[in-house]
């Protein structure tokens, strides 16, 4: 079913994305602290993201010479909007969905493809070399992310005989897709981390480019971009929980609670990967993607199709 109130739909999607972004920030601080010092204060992990956000909001925004100011402001809004459109296609519980449309997987894939436009726009509009290089890097890698992502989502849709995310969740009543299609979830998470330019696949905003597309961004604009980036990561985890981990299905707890727990597990895995896996070189990842990841994704599609037939 679709959400009847437009305002309610906006509040639901914004709440999911905001809560998820805060969880990502807390996990990032916690795992970073444990990696560096071996101990953690929960209070510190809960407060640091809020303190850093407040400091950035009070920081004076930077400006470059002759930037495309409108495009610069539009980029984080576009990135956040694509994440919101992606989350809107995912049912958060039985009968709780903003837009569980018949072609939800296609809509999700289209939203993830538009991430490339937002990232390049962010790099190009600053009128500075390092941000522009960050944008070009993402374009060079985008197809290497999007092809495996699209293929494993298609494979997950085959047993349900539907492109609706709700139907895919329902098809996992007896067996989750993570068991039925063991190649799917790892490939999906790798591609999702790339689309969110996160962890080892953070080439667009990497430190070797002095921050890449964010090299000239500070103050509230930096907050908006970092939030939008984390929104994409949350959207990837929410869809992964629905398509591969059975969505809202589970014993005892209500459906939305199961969705939240499964999404949290995937977010924790993605954040852990950022702290434990070294950054991958661009050209090396392209070679691995086209010689290993995409063929494995095709195998996943063929096996899933054979089982469905």
Give the pTM.
0.91
In whole angstroms, give the CA distance from residue 14 to residue 267: 17
Residues 6+ apart with CB under 8 A from 60: 218, 219
Q: Which residue has the tokens 């390049």?
A: 120
In whole angstroms, give the CA distance from residue 286 to residue 265: 28
Residues 6+ apart with CB under 8 A from 109: 146, 149, 150, 153
Confidence at residue 39, expressed as pLDDT on a 0 to 100 scale: 63
In whole angstroms, give the CA distance from residue 101 to residue 216: 39
Confidence at residue 174, expressed as pLDDT on a 0 to 100 scale: 84
pLDDT tens for the chain, 309 residues long, are: 455 567 777 888 888 888 899 989 888 888 877 665 556 667 777 888 888 888 888 888 878 888 888 888 899 999 999 999 999 889 888 877 787 788 889 999 999 999 999 999 999 998 888 999 999 999 988 889 999 999 999 999 998 888 889 899 998 888 899 998 899 999 999 999 999 988 888 888 888 888 889 888 888 888 999 999 999 999 999 999 999 998 888 888 888 899 999 999 999 999 998 888 888 888 889 999 999 999 999 999 998 888 877
Extract the tokens encoding 136.
């070009």
Confidence at residue 63, expressed as pLDDT on a 0 to 100 scale: 80
- How is 139-171 classified by DSSP, letter by letter? HHHHHHHHHHHHHHHHHHHTTTTSS-HHHHHHT
In whole angstroms, give the CA distance from residue 143 to residue 146: 5
């Amino acid at each position: 079913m679709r959400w009847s109130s437009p305002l309610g739909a906006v509040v639901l999607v914004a709440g999911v994305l905001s809560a998820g972004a805060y969880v990502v920030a807390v996990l990032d601080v916690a795992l970073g602290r444990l990696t560096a010092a071996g101990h953690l204060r929960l209070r510190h992990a809960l407060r640091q993201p809020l303190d850093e956000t407040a400091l950035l909001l009070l920081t004076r925004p930077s400006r470059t010479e002759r930037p495309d100011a409108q495009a610069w402001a539009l980029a984080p809004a576009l990135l956040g909007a694509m994440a919101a459109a992606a989350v809107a296609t995912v049912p958060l519980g039985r009968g709780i969905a903003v837009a569980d449309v018949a072609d939800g997987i296609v809509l999700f894939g289209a939203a993830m493809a538009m991430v490339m436009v937002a990232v390049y726009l962010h790099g190009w509009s600053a009128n500075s070399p390092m941000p522009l290089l960050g944008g070009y890097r993402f374009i060079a890698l985008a197809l290497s992310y999007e092809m495996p992502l699209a293929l494993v989502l298609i494979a997950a849709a085959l047993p349900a005989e539907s492109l609706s995310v709700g139907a895919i969740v329902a098809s996992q009543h007896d067996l989750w897709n993570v068991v039925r299609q063991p190649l799917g979830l790892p490939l999906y998470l790798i591609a999702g981390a790339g689309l969110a330019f996160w962890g080892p696949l953070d080439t667009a905003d990497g430190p070797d480019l002095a921050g890449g597309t964010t090299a000239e961004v500070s103050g509230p604009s930096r907050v908006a971009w970092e939030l939008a980036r984390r929104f994409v990561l949350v959207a990837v985890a929410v869809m992964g929980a629905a398509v591969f981990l059975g969505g809202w299905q589970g014993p005892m707890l209500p459906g939305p609670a199961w969705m939240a727990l499964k999404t949290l597990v995937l977010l924790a895995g993605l954040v852990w990967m950022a702290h434990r896996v070294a950054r991958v070189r661009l050209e090396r990842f392209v070679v691995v993607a086209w010689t290993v990841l995409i063929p494995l994704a095709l195998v996943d599609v063929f096996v899933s199709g054979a089982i469905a037939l």
